[in-house]
A and B are shown apart, each in its own frame.
Chain A
Amino acid sequence: MDQIAPTTVPISDAERDELRRHGILLTGLEELYNWGRSRSVWPLNFGLACCAIEMIAASMAKFDIARFGSEVFRPSPRQADLLIVSGTVTKKMAPQVVRLWNQMPEPKFCIAMGACAISGGPFKQGYNVLKGIDRFIPVDIYIPGCPPRPEALLHGLVQLQEKMRGQTISGPAAPRHLRADVDCDCPIPEFGEHDLEPPQNDVLFQPPASPVRPPKA
């Protein structure tokens, strides 16, 4: 749970509130940096299928994603912070999704919205369906649902903002763009004769462990 707790400056919250009442704001560079980053996440205007309609509904007047900082949906990946993979990723579309991900500059985040983006969803038995976008790009937040309600997307966005606030400027909890040891680009799959080649990115995706049935009582 440490990841999502905000970093603390060595002064108690009561003392900080007291100072704030007098008009003095005390904060740390990390907290300020994360506060600015997390409160203005601009998503890419990217919708694949049915979940995209719920994403559009979340950006409309009734649910209003703009009050969470996602004021504009950028059409160009070069200007976007967040890739909301909303809808089924097919194998034909997968190389384009990875290409878009690579074109987004760091810091960038990915939300897998909907059952199809998480694992293939109701179309899992599909010869053209990619069983989850996390086979090729790193996903930060998973939002289940088919489709998830716009409130669920907003909840996921708030969780992402909490995750961003829990990141540090240096060290292992630093985001990708501040670490020299992590490669930000993902390899793009190619169209093979029967399937994508490679069918998944083995660095990012480990198949789940063997399912074990609970022992009979």
Chain B
Amino acid sequence: METPEQIRDRLLARFPGAQVTVVVNGSPSAQHSLLVDAAHGREIAGFLRDDPVLRLDQCSNVTGVDWPEKEVVETTKTTVPDPAGGTPKIIEEKSKRIEPGCLEVVYHLFSVALRHGPVVLRMRTGNRTDAVTLPSLMPVWRSCDFQEREVFDLFGVKFDGHPDLRRILMWDAFKDHPMRKDYVEPDDYEWEPTPHGDVLAKARKHFPAPAAPAAAPTPPSPTA
């Protein structure tokens, strides 16, 4: 089977305006993935399915991933020459920037006809708030039907072109997207026998700190 770099080169040749990059995987599994831009997602998917060399006719797994925004600290070093002619000083400047978060959908594609795979396809949304639309790959692979509905339900990614995009696991009146990293669960249990971590923090809200232990009862004074 072709390497992700070879697939990328063929895709860029076939769809000149597309942005396809290889995301290198750090783990020993060496399952590198192709990051594809949303505008060309469906065309590329159709090409991957119909291409005689790849014939990726089964989309086995559709996963949603939440990447919240994170603070990145960058250090820039500038060399300032010493006006007195001595050794130049090196000044370090640290700049913080917020890398915007996004929602990502990962497709694992296999070929049943040619018995190879996986080719991993990724698409990312613009941000996590309003630009959360991605093209639906259901017209290409039928297996994306329920799985994209699940990503919509749990992450909030809207799939353009899905004929029946509604919640699948949670009830229709539910308002949140529970698999996001910033989801706050409803406060619906009071007690744990051995709480620790955030469970202990939740339990403490329901129960005040235990009162100081009562003083030992004084023995009754002898009376007649």
Closest to A193 in B: B175
Q: Is A199 an interface residue (CB 8 A)?
A: yes
Shortest B88–chain A CB gap in Å is 56
Q: A125-B199, A208-B191, A210-B207 are in contact. Are A191 and B185 (CB under 8 A)?
A: no
24 example contacts (A-B, Cβ-Cβ < 8 A) are as follows: A92-B170, A92-B171, A120-B189, A124-B189, A125-B199, A127-B185, A128-B169, A128-B170, A128-B178, A191-B172, A191-B173, A191-B174, A193-B173, A193-B174, A194-B175, A195-B186, A195-B188, A199-B188, A207-B190, A207-B206, A208-B190, A210-B210, A211-B193, A212-B210
7 tightest A-B CB contacts, nearest first: A195-B186, A193-B175, A207-B190, A131-B189, A191-B171, A210-B207, A191-B173
Q: Is A215 an interface residue (CB 8 A)?
A: yes
Q: How far is the CA of A208 from the CA of B189 in the complex (A)?
A: 10
> Chain B: interface residue count, which band?
20 to 34
Shortest B191–chain A CB gap in Å is 5
- Chain B residues lying within 8 Å of A195, measured Cβ to Cβ, are 186, 188
Q: How far is the CA of A194 from the CA of B178 in the complex (A)?
A: 10
- Chain A residues lying within 8 Å of B69, measured Cβ to Cβ, are none
Closest to B210 in A: A212
A131 and B188 form a contact (CB under 8 A):
yes
Closest to B176 in A: A194
Q: How far is the CA of A214 from the CA of B132 in the complex (A)?
A: 52
A-side residues, CB < 8 A to B, are 91-92, 120, 124-125, 127-128, 131, 191-195, 199, 207-208, 210-213, 215
Q: How far is the CA of A193 from the CA of B176 in the complex (A)?
A: 8
Q: How far is the CA of A199 from the CA of B187 in the complex (A)?
A: 10
B-side residues, CB < 8 A to A, are 169-176, 178, 183, 185-186, 188-193, 199, 206-208, 210, 213
> Which of A120, A199, A210 lies in contact with B186, CB distance below 8 A?
A199
Q: How far is the CA of A210 from the CA of B190 in the complex (A)?
A: 9
A211 and B186 form a contact (CB under 8 A):
no
B190 and A127 form a contact (CB under 8 A):
no
Q: How far is the CA of A210 from the CA of B170 in the complex (A)?
A: 32
- Chain B residues lying within 8 Å of A215, measured Cβ to Cβ, are 213
- Chain B residues lying within 8 Å of A91, measured Cβ to Cβ, are 171
